[in-house]
Amino acid sequence: MTPKLSKDLIYNSRIIDTYIKLLKKKHPDIDTSIALEHAGMQGYEVADQSHWFTQAQIDRFYAKAVEVTGNPQVARDAGRYSASPEAIGAMRQYILGLVGPAHAFGLIRNAASKFTRSAQYQSKRISDNSVEVVVTPYPGIDEKVFQCENRMGFFEAICMMFNDKMPIIEHPECLFDGGQHCRYVISWKRSAADLWGKTRDISAFTLAGACGAAAFWNPALTAQTLIPASLATIAALSYTARTKENRELRRSLDNLFDSSEKLIEQMNINYSNSLMNNEIGQAISAPTEVDEILANVIQVLKKRLDFDRGMILLANKDRDQLLFRTGFGYNSEQLRMLNSIAFHLNKPTSRGVFVVAFHEQRPFLIDDVRDLHGKLSSRSLSLIEKLGAHSFICCPIICEGNSIGLLAVDNLKSKRPLQQSDVSLLMGIAPMLGISIRNADLLQTKERQFHSTLEVLAATIDARDPLTAGHSKKVTEFAVGICNTLNISDEETERIRVASLLHDYGKIGVPDAILKKEGQLTEEEYDIVKTHTRKTKDILEGINFDGIYHNIPSIAAAHHENIDGTGYPWGLKGDDIPLGALIISVADFFEAITSKRHYRDPMPTEIAYQLLRQHSGSRFDSQIVEAFIRYHKKQQGPFPSCDLNRPKRVPCRTNVSLRANSHATNGLSEDLSTDGMFVSVPEPVQEGTMIKLHFSLPGVDAPPIEALAKVVWTNNNCKKAKPDFPTGNGVHFTEVEKPAAEALYNYIAQVEGGQPH
């Protein structure tokens, strides 16, 4: 991060960046990090062109640079290099477009202020080929001799942009020889156009005088010979001077054109970055789930950024591990490796770049991963080698002063080197991502609390009687199954799910003597039981249901209404009954008659099917009844004909989309059977939850598999049902369409038999 500017920070990081580039070019065998560490500087600070250093840091860096290179003139060499094409690029084209060093030195005051706050620069033009530059340190600044040498090297480089010969630099007054200023007089060889122009002017003056004098002695000879010859000479000199001048003007125009093209290119980059920021804003504004936000953002980064690969890692709840959440540009094996590892945040031995960037909240630009050898553990180096990384950038994702993750990118195929502008761009994206993730976490936490509260409320009713324990949960499972069979939207399904959990809450006002009565209820007792629907509505209306949950009380209270108008409590009919109530009605009836009660034993499933169909069109909606029966039959097992000869569980690694209670997340499967699969996910789903799965079979040319499933066991960081498995869920298929079921069976049979698939 850029430090807070103070009077002690007086030298821009670009000064040191020039030294680093020079050392890498002339001394590739020298480790530049030695000089940086000696000066208390970090590589990312040097790369950040808005960073500033102190005089003491500059002094220590220079001393170490002289020591490791053995070159006492390194400061002057760095000054010359600072004006080279490698060092200033497009700026050099602009300076060359000024047509002459005198104009370039005229900008020295503004240019100097961008590099240092230590001194004031003043320039004065002496002649066409000389200027005077006076440098006066600000009060309290203690400059060193090597900085004087560095300036002279820079002045030499400016002149040599226009001429191939070294300029003459006189230094009549120097701070380090007792002067009040450092005064430099810089003179350079005139340009060819200037020389030819002066030759033309002198020749014209001389020939004009000669012709005038000759006219007194011999007018005829002067008119016939001397004047034409003089005019021809002047014309030739003028032509040569104009040709030279035009060439220099063309060269200047070419340089200006090149710099304009570079400026347009930068404008296009800025425009693309603006579009990207807008797209990221749109990608994170609507979703309320972390995985959806990450998926959207990573797609924008893949589309807009000029990087081959990128990844987002987030800290777990305990903030002791960084876990891979999503990325682009990685192959399946690399994705599996990233999903299976964790970067430990609280181990003393953890000293990797990711861990340091997370804890210290600062970005890193690593030009060459070989520079990290000796600074990382063998495990980290092995990971870098397997990923094939050569250089990378990592930026912390920070929200409200706390690190919550990392954003990292690298290039493999493209030749474009990573730059500080890339770091600045990513550091602009990371805070937006951090705020969005934090907001999504808060919303999900609020939602989890909301759902857990609802489940507790439902459980308090069921707990009054051991025979009805789990009734609301089972009705909810059936209702969600009907919704999925009818392809009802996720939003409506969620609304019906919540209403199902609370459909009997009004029974809290019905006496135990009636609810637990072992015999048939009297008419008066039954009337009391029927009041639970109105009580349900009255109680639930005291809860602030908003958004998609706004009509939960009405749905829950209407689950005893019949489509022919004979139900209660309001005698609603047909379309006046909420769809959710019609679905809950079927699920509630089936669960009640197939469960044991005080006054009867459970009915067989087939008899329950018959009763549902018998009341279709009068009490129940016939489409809902048939949808439930289809769902319930499939729930008994998707492969009934294969039970006696079912293939065993086989390895299967593929990306899986998992949706539970309208929340979507992405994971990676570990294995597969005809009964179910294990899916590794960063945040496991609670046991017993009904979910939707979407995945493709590896190497199989077939449509993706869509299945309904139930979470039957969970591995998390605190408790692992199966220690050998990573964090995730074991799921049991409850509904798979026939074509998908056949594809599953054939795939597993092929893998088990060692056949190609």
**Model confidence at 744: pLDDT above 70:** yes
Asked whether 680 and 720 are in contact (CB, 8 A), the reply is no
Q: How confident is residue 28, by pLDDT bands cut at 50, 70 and 90?
A: confident
How far apart (Å, rounded) are the C-alpha atoms in residues 480 and 474? 10
CA-angle at 602, arms to 735 and 688, nearest 5°: 35
Residue 324 host element (H or E)? strand 321-328
Residue ranges with strand state E in 496-599:
none
Which CATH superfamily is 11-190 part of?
H-NOX domain (3.90.1520.10)
The mean pLDDT value for 127-154 works out to 82
Which residue in 627, 727, 725 sits closest to 685, CA to CA? 727
Q: Is the pLDDT of residue 283 over 70?
A: no
Mean pLDDT of all residues in 272-285: 61
Structure tokens at 121: 């620069």
How would DSSP label each residue in 708-756?
EEEEEEEE-SS-BSSTTS-SEEEEEEEEE-HHHHHHHHHHHHHHHTT--
Is 642-752 CATH 2.40.10.220? yes
- Residue 472 vs residues 479, 542, 631: alpha-carbon distances, Å: 10, 20, 18
The average pLDDT across 150-163 equals 78
Vertex 610 angle, CA 606 and 615, to 5° = 150
Predicted local confidence at residue 719, as pLDDT: 60
- Note the CATH number of domain 286-443: 3.30.450.40
The boundaries of every CATH 1.10.3210.10 domain in the chain are 463-635
Q: Is the pLDDT of residue 393 over 80?
A: yes
Task: Tell me the C-alpha distance between 604 and 588, whole Å.
Answer: 16
Asked whether the predicted pLDDT for residue 14 surpasses 80, the reply is no
What's the mean pLDDT in 237-261?
67
Q: How far is CA 669 from CA 375, 651, 716, 756, in A?
A: 35, 9, 16, 20
CATH of 463-635, one of 3.30.70.980, 3.40.50.880, 3.90.950.20, 1.10.3210.10: 1.10.3210.10
Is residue 40 a contact partner of residue 115, using CB atoms and an 8 Å limit? no
> Is the pLDDT at 390 greater than 90, yes or no?
no
How sure is the predictor about 256, in pLDDT bands with cuts at 50, 70 and 90?
A: low
Helices (H), 578-675: 579-593, 605-614, 622-635
For CATH 3.30.450.40, the residue range(s) in the chain are 286-443
Chain mean pLDDT for the chain: 79
Query: pLDDT band at 346, cuts 50/70/90?
Result: confident
232: confidence class by pLDDT, cuts 50, 70, 90:
confident
Q: CA–CA separation, 586 vs 485, rounded Å? A: 14
Which helix or strand (DSSP H or E) is residue 120 part of? strand 119-127
Mean pLDDT of 456-479: 79
Q: In the chain, where does the domain assigned CATH 3.90.1520.10 lie?
A: 11-190
With a cut of 60, say whether residue 358 has pLDDT above it: yes
Say which residue, 658 or 163, is predicted with more confidence.
Answer: 658
Three-state DSSP state, 145: helix
* Predicted local confidence at residue 549, as pLDDT: 87
| pLDDT tens digit sequence for 541-573 | 888 888 888 899 999 999 999 999 999 999 999
582 vs 49: which has the higher pLDDT: 582
Higher pLDDT, 420 or 202: 202
The rounded distance, in Å, linking the Cα atoms of 753 and 747 is: 10
User: Do the strands 119-127 and 364-366 form a parallel or antiparallel pair, or are they unpaired?
Assistant: unpaired
Report pLDDT for 188. Answer: 80
DSSP-based three-state secondary structure for 505: helix
Q: Using one digit for the tens of pLDDT, what is the confidence trace for 51-107?
A: 777 888 888 888 888 888 888 888 888 877 776 655 555 444 445 445 567 777 766
Could you tell me which residue, 114 or 501, shows the higher pLDDT? 501
The Cα 161–Cα 155 span in angstroms is 10
**Among candidates 730, 747, 610, 741, which has minimal Cα distance to 679?**
730
What residues contact residue 240 under an 8 Å CB cut-off, 6+ apart?
Answer: 196, 200
CB proximity list for 474: less than 8 A, separation 6 or greater:
591, 595
Tokens of 230: 């003089």
Residue 271 token pair: 């425009």
CA atoms within 13 A on the CB side of 172: 5
Residue predicted with more confidence, 535 or 671: 535
pLDDT tens digits for range 209-218: 777 777 777 7
| The residue to which tokens 């979470």 are assigned | 711
Segment 286-330, tens digit of pLDDT = 556 777 778 877 887 777 777 888 899 999 888 888 988 888 888
Residues 201-219: b if buried by 16+ CB within 10 A, e if exposed: eebbeebeeebeebeeeee
